[in-house]
Structures are given as C-alpha cells and as structure tokens.
Amino acid sequence: MYPQILGVYSRKQDRDIGFGTTTRNHAQQTYWFARRLSDDAFEVQPLNTSHVPSGMRTTLGKGEFIKAFHPEPGYYETRTLPALKSLQKKVEMGERFFQDGLLGQAEKEFLKAVMMDEDNAQANLGLGAVYSEQGRFAKVRKIVGILLNNDDAFRREQRRQFNTFGISLRRQGLHEDAIRFYSRALEVDPDDEHLHFNLARAHFELGDELACLQHIEIALGLNPDFKEGRKFLEYLGKHC
C-alpha cells in the first residue's frame, strides 16, 4: 500500500570550486528521505542537520529516482530513525501536557521538537495552541504565518492537532486568524464539510452572516447528514 517509506537515500552531484587554473571538481553528497507514492512516483525530502526530513518535497519518476538516488540503509537505521522517534516523543509529550493543562511544560516540549525540525507541522500546531491559550497573540500570529506556508499542517493525518489549534484560535477570539487558517486548509481539502463548518462559525463570530451562511450551506451540500451543521443552520434561521 502506498505511500511506502523507503528510508534514506544519498545523491552525489559534481560541483566546480574555484576559478581559472585553480578550478577543481568536487563531489557533493546530500541525504534525502524517500517515499514511494505509486508504481512510478517517488517523493524525496532533504534531511536537515538533525537527520530528519524537513523542507520542500519533490516528486520524481521511477527512472529519474533510481538514476540519481542511492540507498543508505545504515544512515537511516543509526541516525534518521532514532531522530524521528525522539522528535515524535517530544511532540507526544507536548500534546499530553497540553491536554492536562500544563501549558509551560507543553511549550518546552514543542520548542524542543521545533529545534529539531523548524517546519514540523505537529510541533508548530501544538505550539500555536499553547500560545493561543496563554494569550500570547503576537506569537500566535507568527505561528499562523509559519503554518500558512506549510502544506503538511493541513494534511489529513494532522487533523486532530489542526482542530485543536483552530478551536484555540476561536476560543481566544482570534476570528480573523481562524478564517485565514481555515481558508488555507480549504485550498488543500475543499470538500471537507468540517472545515466549511468551522469557517462558518468564525465568520458568524465576526458578524459576517452572508459568508457564514454560504459556508454552512456548502458543508451541508457535501454531507446532508452533518448533524452539527444542521443544528447550526437551524440556529441561524432563528437568530439571524
């Protein structure tokens, strides 16, 4: 079943260093995390200094991938896999502390994770939720800016952390930030009725009844059995 984790692969590229008669050829080796997306599609992502995948993902055809990349099973087993486990443990600890209301300890764990991978979606979503609950709104907006440029934050596998952060934004009255956040999510997944529902609620809190109604109707069009959406539409009919 795809996607399939392949591990770490290396890529060697020749570069000329120097000028004129001092020019010499230097082979540069870089390391990448690889996944197989389908029979003929492979995805590579560079490893950072902490040995974890971070940064832009690139999709290649089978022939191009096999030609340019070479497996490094020892690197994956001794460096990347332990680093990924450590990173995930920090994120899970942060989420546990957050659920227990221990915001200071949650912040520390999420910051440790971000130090390992500044682009990590789970860690940034968790950190944003902590800052929102603490009322540190300048930091919340910085996190929102980071997340808006990170497609990983809006993938379905991040949905639980994503919803926690979105709820925190609304709870703290940061409705404009919530609208930016949910609107960005809809670019990635336009057919998610829950996103339209949450966006409708954020618009309602800002007093934009027309946008609110548009999104709740889209949500119900996508899922006519969406109970929360139906109840909210009934509420709008009575109070708007």
In a domain, 209, yes or no: no
pLDDT in tens, 144-157: 999 988 888 888 77
Torsion sign across C-alpha atoms 216, 199, 119, 86? negative
Note the pLDDT tens digit of each residue in 50-98: 999 998 999 999 999 999 999 999 999 999 999 999 999 999 999 999 9
Angstrom distances, CA of residue 146 to CA of 50, 120, 124, 149, 181: 20, 10, 8, 6, 11
Q: Is residue 10 part of a domain?
A: yes
Split into its structural domains, the chain has a count of 1
- Is 36 a domain residue? yes
Q: What is the pTM assigned to this prediction? A: 0.81
3 belongs to a structural domain = yes
Mark 160-183 as b/e (b = at least 16 C-beta within 10 Å): ebbebbbebbbebebbebbbbbbe
* Contact between 18 and 77 (Cβ < 8 Å): no
Q: Which domain holds residue 46?
A: 1-17+24-71
Residue 9 domain-assigned (yes or no): yes
Q: What is the pLDDT of residues 92-104, one digit of tens each?
A: 999 999 999 999 9
Q: Is residue 53 part of a domain?
A: yes
Residue 2 lies in a domain: yes
Whether residue 153 is contained in a domain is answered as no
